[in-house]
């Protein structure tokens, strides 16, 4: 799995929107977040972020309101939006082999077993990203993920 800047930025933006709407459980009725504010706080180029926000809106993860008081909000609670939802919205397949989704990587002869390996890798990644919600990430303490030495 390759995590592109686009995927990283999308997750950071979604977490910022989710954090802004925490007062109502992240259901989309909380504080609207402006794209310019997201770009500044998360250090994301605004023009790049606008394309990402459009993809997230098209995928049904965000809704937007126009006007001076407008901005972005989640379409459903943060505990119902997974990392996998966000990654798929902006990047398509979670795992690719030579630019193709893992399930389409075909081999024959001595390399035939590689298809099973790529599908297992895809399944492992999907398990992690589909079981981790935005709410999970917001409630985790940064010390929970400090590297440990053996």
Q: Could you tell me the residue ranges of all domains in the chain?
A: 5-140
Buried/exposed 53-91: b ≥16 CB within 10 Å, e otherwise: bebbeeeebbebeeeeeebbbbbebbbebbbbbbbbbbb
Q: How many C-beta atoms surround the C-beta of residue 116 within 10 A? A: 10
pLDDT for the residue 67: 83
Burial class (CB in 10 A: 0-12, 13-18, 19+), 132: middle
Q: What is the pLDDT of residues 10-23, one digit of tens each?
A: 999 999 999 998 75
Residue 101's φ and ψ, nearest 5 degrees, are -55, 145
> 5-140: what CATH class?
mainly alpha
Residues of the chain with pLDDT under 70: 23-30, 141-150
Q: What is the pLDDT of residues 92-102, one digit of tens each?
A: 888 888 888 88
pTM score of the predicted model: 0.83
pLDDT for the residue 30: 65
pLDDT for the residue 26: 42
């Amino acid at each position: 799995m390759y995590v592109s800047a686009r995927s990283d930025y999308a997750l950071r933006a979604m977490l910022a929107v989710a954090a802004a709407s925490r007062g109502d459980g992240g259901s989309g009725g909380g504080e609207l977040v402006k794209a310019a504010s997201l770009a500044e706080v998360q250090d994301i180029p605004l023009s790049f972020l606008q394309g990402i926000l459009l993809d997230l809106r098209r995928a049904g993860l965000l809704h937007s309101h126009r006007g001076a008081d407008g901005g972005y909000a989640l379409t459903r609670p943060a505990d119902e939006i997974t990392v996998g939802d966000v990654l798929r919205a902006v990047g398509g397949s979670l795992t690719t082999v030579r630019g193709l989704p893992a399930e389409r990587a075909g081999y024959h002869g001595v390399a035939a077993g590689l298809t099973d390996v790529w599908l297992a890798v895809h399944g492992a990644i999907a398990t992690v990203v589909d079981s981790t919600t935005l709410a999970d990430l917001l409630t985790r303490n940064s010390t929970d993920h400090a590297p440990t030495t053996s």
